[in-house]
Amino acid sequence: MRYLFALITALALASSPAFAMDGIVTDTGDAVTVENGITFSEGATVVVFDADGTAHTMQVMEATDGPDSISVDLVDADTGDAKTIEFMK
């Protein structure tokens, strides 16, 4: 009986949704992800994952909260590249 409970628990945890927000880089259409619950306040540092899973440390320059999405202007801390990413609500 303990093995059955352990199996059910493991399956439930494995099928849980990931806690992340998906976004699109506006000038390239590339998909990106950030952890759910990130606050996009000016000057904050966030980690953005590209489609390959590569992490990019970025600084928030500006965030605009619209009715359907949040548009965030970011600068990559390593390369200095600026990107605008739109996250749907």
Domains and CATH numbers, the chain: 18-88 (2.40.128)
pLDDT tens-digit series, residues 33-87: 999 888 899 999 999 999 999 999 999 999 999 999 999 999 999 999 999 999 9
Q: What is the pLDDT of residue 13?
A: 41
1 band by pLDDT with thresholds 50, 70 and 90: low
Res. 3: pLDDT tops 70: no
CA distance 25 to 32: 7
Q: What is the pLDDT of residue 18?
A: 54
2 band by pLDDT with thresholds 50, 70 and 90: low
Q: Which of 23, 20, 46, 24 is nearest to 35 (CA)?
A: 20
